[in-house]
Amino acid sequence: MSTPAVVAAVDGSDDSLRVLDWALDAARRRRAPLHVAHVRQYAPWARPDVLVAGPPEGEDDPVLDQARARLEGRVAGGPVEYLGLDGVPAALLPGLSATAQLLVLGSRGRGGFASLLLGSNSLAAARDSECPVVVVPRPGREVHGEAPAEAGPRIVVGLHVDGPDEATLGFAFAEAALREARLQVVAACPWPARTWLAPGELAPPVIDREAVESETRALVEGFLAPHRERHPRVRADACVAAGDAAGHLVAASKDADLVVVGRHRRRLPAPARMMGSVTQAVLLHAASPVAVVPPSPPQG
C-alpha cells in the first residue's frame, strides 16, 4: 500500500512559497510523497459548472511552474506530483484530503481583503478536511506570551479535559516524535467569576482554585499516560492554567514549531462540521503554524 501524500496548496503568493517549504519538510520527515496543488478559480478555459483536472494541452500553469522552480534541487528521492485543478478552492481543497495524510496551506491567499487574518479557503479546509490541516501564518504575528524558558523544538497541543480527543493527542505526540521536539500540553480549567456582594466588596470564591487545578492536572496525566507509553522518547510537559484556553494557546505559540488543536465533533441537531471557538481563535492569532485535527470517528 502506498504512503498517503502530504498536499501543499499553492497560489503563487509569497505565502504559498512558505507553505511549500513547510510541506516539503513534513513530507521528508514522514517519508511520504509530496503533492503540489493549484486550484485555478478563474481559469479562462474552464466552464463554471465543470471541474477540469488540468489546463488544455499546450497551456502552462505559471503557479505550478513557480513551485517546480522552488523545489528544484531540493527533492531527493521523494516523488512530487503537481496537480492543476479548476473550480472553487474551498470545495476542492477539502476533497484532496480524502486520500492525503496532511494538507498544508497558507493563512491567506491572493484573494480577499488584505485586512483579513484568515482567508475563507483556509477556514473551509480546516473545517471540512478529512485529514489534519496545517495553516502556515504570515511572518510577523505578535503574541504577548513569554519566551520559552527552554530552547529547542517545541510542539504545543491543546487538551480539553471535559472531552479529550485521542486523534489530537495522537497527532501531537507523533509530530513531536518526528521533530524530536518537546511537547507542551496546555489544559485550561474554567474559573468562576467572582461576584459582588456590595459596592467594593467581593464574594469569596466558593471553590478552591488550587484544588481545581490539582484535579485537572491529575486528569491530564491520566489522558497522557497511554500516549507516553507509545512514544517513550517524547517528553510531554503538562501546563494547567485557569482561564481562557485560546489565550493560553496563542501565548504558547510564541517561538513554537507548531500548535495542535482539535476540531469539534459533529453533533445533532447541527449536522454540519464545526470549527470551535478556541480553534478558530488560535488560527486567527497564533504566531506559529497551526494543525487542526479532525475528531476520532465515533465508537460503536
CB-count burial class (<10 Å; 0-12, 13-18, 19+) for 292: buried
Q: What is the CATH number of the domain that holds 228?
A: 3.40.50.12370
> Nine-digit cell at 94?
477539502
Q: Tell me: the pLDDT tens digits for 235-267?
A: 999 999 888 899 999 999 999 999 999 987 554
With residue 295 as reference, give the H or E element that holds it.
none
On whether both 165 and 288 belong to a single domain, the answer is yes
Q: Tell me: the pLDDT tens digits for 35-61?
A: 999 998 754 444 444 444 444 443 578
Question: Of 234, 137, 218, 226, which is closest to residue 184 (Cα–Cα)?
Answer: 234
Domain boundary among 136, 170, 190: 136
Q: What is the pLDDT of residue 122?
A: 83
Q: Tell me: the pLDDT tens digits for 69-111?
A: 999 888 765 689 999 998 888 888 899 999 999 999 998 655 4
Enter the pTM of the model. Answer: 0.84
On whether both 102 and 170 belong to a single domain, the answer is no
**Above 70 in pLDDT, residue 204?**
no
On whether both 24 and 59 belong to a single domain, the answer is yes
Contact (Cβ atoms closer than 8 angstroms) between residue 262 and residue 293: yes
On whether both 174 and 128 belong to a single domain, the answer is no
On whether both 178 and 74 belong to a single domain, the answer is no
How many Cβ atoms sit within 10 Å of the Cβ of residue 277? 11
Residue 147 lies in a domain: no
Average pLDDT, the chain: 82
- The top-scoring range by mean pLDDT among 112-121, 200-209, 210-219 is 210-219
- The domain of 14 spans 5-136
Q: Tell me: the pLDDT tens digits for 111-150?
A: 443 333 446 788 888 899 999 999 999 887 888 777 777 8
Residue 300 lies in a domain: no
Confidence of residue 298 (pLDDT cuts 50, 70, 90): low
Residue 232 lies in a domain: yes
On whether both 90 and 176 belong to a single domain, the answer is no
Q: Beta-strand (E) ranges in 57-177?
A: 80-86, 100-106, 133-136, 154-158
Residue 145 lies in a domain: no
On whether both 174 and 113 belong to a single domain, the answer is no
Residue 148 lies in a domain: no
Contact (Cβ atoms closer than 8 angstroms) between residue 225 and residue 239: no
On whether both 167 and 62 belong to a single domain, the answer is no
**Above 80 in pLDDT, residue 167?**
yes
- Length, in residues, of the chain: 300
Domain boundary among 85, 104, 136: 136
Q: What is the CATH number of the domain that holds 52?
A: 3.40.50.620
Question: Of 69, 56, 114, 123, which is closest to residue 290 (Cα–Cα)?
Answer: 123
On whether both 188 and 289 belong to a single domain, the answer is yes
On whether both 159 and 286 belong to a single domain, the answer is yes
How many Cβ atoms sit within 10 Å of the Cβ of residue 109? 22
Domains held by the chain: number: 2
Residue 188 lies in a domain: yes
Q: What is the pLDDT of residue 117?
A: 41
Domain boundary among 83, 102, 136: 136
On whether both 76 and 160 belong to a single domain, the answer is no
Least confident of 74-78, 157-161, 230-234: 74-78
On whether both 132 and 160 belong to a single domain, the answer is no
Separation CA 79–CA 75 (nearest Å):
8
